[in-house]
A = this chain, B = another copy of it.
Amino acid sequence: QDTAQPAPDAAAEPWLASLITDSPQAGFDLAITMARKAVTTTQTDKDTLHKLRPNYAHDPQSLIGVSGVAATWFATIAAANGYWRE
């Protein structure tokens, strides 16, 4: 987890084959997925994660934060897809 260029084949379960999606909405969904994956990479214990969820889902500041984080992931995905312009 601390090497600069981890071999993708060595990963436990591949989950991100491409940033390309069929539509902006699928890109939005991928942004949410990547935002969550960054969280589960940091806190790997599923029980702890489930206990935290009701907590932040009722905190306005956290929900705004979630939206900002999703926007940052989406920006990269949208650029990768040429903004689905055609």
What residues of chain A have their CB less than 8 Å away from a CB belonging to chain B? 1-8, 11, 14-26, 28-30, 32-39, 41-43, 48, 52-53, 55-76, 78-80, 83-85
Report whether over half of chain A's contact residues are helix, strand or loop; otherwise say mixed.
helix
A16-B23, A16-B25 known; A79-B83 Cβ under 8 A: yes
| Residue of chain B at shortest CB distance from A68 | B69
- Within the oligomer, what is the number of copies of this chain? 6
A37-B42 in contact given A5-B21, A76-B71 (Cβ < 8 Å): no
Q: Are A64 and B71 in contact (CB under 8 A)?
A: no
CA–CA, A80 to B5, complex, Å?
14
Task: Find chain B residues with CB under 8 A from A61 CB.
Answer: 56, 59, 61-62, 65
CA distance A21 to B68 in the complex (A): 21
